[in-house]
Amino acid sequence: MKIVGLITEYNPFHNGHLYHIRESLRITGADAALVVMSGDYVQRGTPAIMPKRLRTEMALYCGAGAVLELPVCYATGSAEFFALGAISLLDSLGIVDSVCFGSECSDLPLLQKIAGLLVDEPEQYREILRHELKLGKSFPAARQTAVVFCTGDPRCADILKDPNNILGIEYLKALKKCGSSIRPYTIRRKGAGYHSSQLDELYSSASAIRSLLAYSSSSIHTEFAGDDSTELSFSDILNELGNQVPKKCLELLSDFHKIQYPVYQNDFSLILKYKLLNKHPESLVRYMDVSPELAARICTSLNDFFNYKQFAGLLKTKELTQTRINRALLHIMLGIKKDSVSEYMNSGYNFYARLLGFRKDCSQILTEISKKSSLPLLTKLAESRELCELGQRMLRDDILASNLYTSVVTDKFKTAFLNEYKQRIIKI
């Protein structure tokens, strides 16, 4: 059985994701797609707009053979950590032949050339990078200059500006660092740009779809959707999304609206403020993505905390991107510490493969994983008793993060709470 690995967030699932699954299967000749997906929190440092099992169900109906959860410490990490966590997980399964990712340029040889340079970091590259940083440039700008100089290829400047290209380079770096035999493929991203807030004809960005869905919860006062003061009805929103998401996804969006989603940063405002009230700068720097400067800024700005999103914006500076701040605050709230993540990465990255769902006609994937994987396949949390101490610690972080998300969902929509131990695997 030939398997292609896909690394995803599906926040939420849309036509571009359907295209990615189908095109990945076509160009790799794979029999099935095995998805590694972020759980209830995503790489830009925010909660996912809808729970992981709802997004899993969408993916399975649209062609994914099975969905595994990326541990929360990697799902909410930098592009480098996100890629290393996901690629190492796919590699450890022992059944994945290829990995296919989207990119703006779709030029795999050039992306591989850049990845090789960034893995090797020759002295010339490091000298130029240090020089550019001393001039006051941001790290991305300094790296861009160093890469263009060392490759002699001016195209690299534009490539390093686009988010999917950057993430693709990190996947390629991770494959090299893991010594993986998985073969990479890339396909060109279709339709609107990653950050586009406007709906495209067929292939809108997840950002644009999330912005539209924000109107659907404006009466709950957790997210302001835009400058238009006219509140759209939910039926209007579904009509707008009719040609943006697969039919089954539209049905699920309709069925679970204001039952399981939409979820936003501000739904976690009191939880974050509680966590911050118990901290001081020396304790905050233990968390991932929190620098001493940011820790001090958080503590001195706490009296101006109104809500999660507003506070994250308040902390932004020229040196600190909004995404970096979002991730830092999320790591504080979830208790994800630098020392723990370093231990995980120094001990093989992953300790289990946790199953979220699968298609019954692709159940052979699970049989093959059980035979060939160097990691245990977790289908029930009770099975975690056999994990090593580090693995149990990583899993406890995953469980806490999910239970916290579920608590917010059930409080917001007044539904029954079901803890992570009682949640079911999605089968279709």
Q: 3-class secondary structure for the chain?
A: CCEEEEEECCCCCCHHHHHHHHHHHHHHCCCEEEEEEECCEECCCEECCCCHHHHHHHHHHCCCCEEEEECHHHHCCCHHHHHHHHHHHHHHCCCEEEEEEEECCCCHHHHHHHHHHHHHCCHHHHHHHHHHHHCCCCHHHHHHHHHHHHHCCCHHHHHCCCHHHHHHHHHHHHHHHCCCCCEEEEEECCCCCCCCCCCCCCCCCHHHHHHHHHHHHHHHCCCCCCCCCCCCCHHHHHHHHCCCCCHHHHHHHHHHECCCECCCHHHHHHHHHHHHHCCCHHHHCCECCCCHHHHHHHHHHHHHCCCHHHHHHHCCCCCCCHHHHHHHHHHHHHCCEHHHHHHHHHCCCCCCEEEEEECHHHCHHHHHHHHHCCCCEECCHHHHHHCCHHHHHHHHHHHHHHHHHHHHHHHHHCCCCCCHHHCCCEEC
Binding residues for ATP, by number, are 7-20, 102, 164, 189
Distance of CA 196 to the CA centre of its chain: 18
Distance of CA 381 to the CA centre of its chain: 22
Contact yes or no for 115/96 (Cβ under 8 A): no
Binding residues, by number, are 7-20, 102, 164, 189
Find where tokens 């290393």 sit.
84
Distance CA 200, CA 319 (A): 32
Strands 353-358 and 66-70, bridge-based pairing: antiparallel
Contact yes or no for 32/70 (Cβ under 8 A): no
- Gap between the terminal Cα atoms of the chain: 20
